[in-house]
Amino acid sequence: AQSVAQPEDQVNVAEGNPLTVKCTYSVSGNPYLFWYVQYPNRGLQFLLKYITGDNLVKGSYGFEAEFNKSQTSFHLKKPSALVSDSALYFCAVRRPGAGSYQLTFGKGTKLSVIP
């Protein structure tokens, strides 16, 4: 079985400050890890993914995430938050291999960037 934990329901950060949204995972084998963002009244949008290689993954809108195998974490980061980054962020994990199309999502973390 695979699972994702996003320990914070909400993260508040001041505009211009760095932000971190936490995610830990559990899966057998090497994971495929994803971050998606959901703006109000919209579907989820892909931000970035880790498949293999460099542990630091860069994605859309200046976001990046660091894969840490020993801590089974994949935290989302941005050096300088914008008010427009306020949204709901979902971490997801998938076990690699044909037939493993079950993408397991976390409950989401609401990010509020305060002007």
Partner 1 sequence: ETGVTQTPRHLVMGMTNKKSLKCEQHLGHNAMYWYKQSAKKPLELMFVYSLEERVENNSVPSRFSPECPNSSHLFLHLHTLQPEDSALYLCASSQDLGAGGEKLFFGSGTQLSVL
Of the pair 15, 104, the CB lying nearest partner 1 is at 104
Residue 17 per-residue DSSP state: S
Of the pair 15, 72, the CB lying nearest partner 1 is at 72
Which residues, numbered 47-66, are part of the site for partner 1 (CB under 8 A)?
49, 51
> ∠71-72-73 over CA atoms, to 5°?
90
Binding mask 11-40 for partner 1 (x = CB under 8 A): ---------------------x-x-x----
Q: Which two tokens stand for residue 12?
A: 């508040």
Q: Of 80, 96, 99, whose CA–CA distance to 33 is shortest?
A: 96
Q: How far is the CB of 51 from partner 1 (least distance, A)?
A: 5
Of the pair 59, 78, the CB lying nearest partner 1 is at 59
Query: Quick check: 21 and 8 in contact, CB under 8 A?
Result: yes
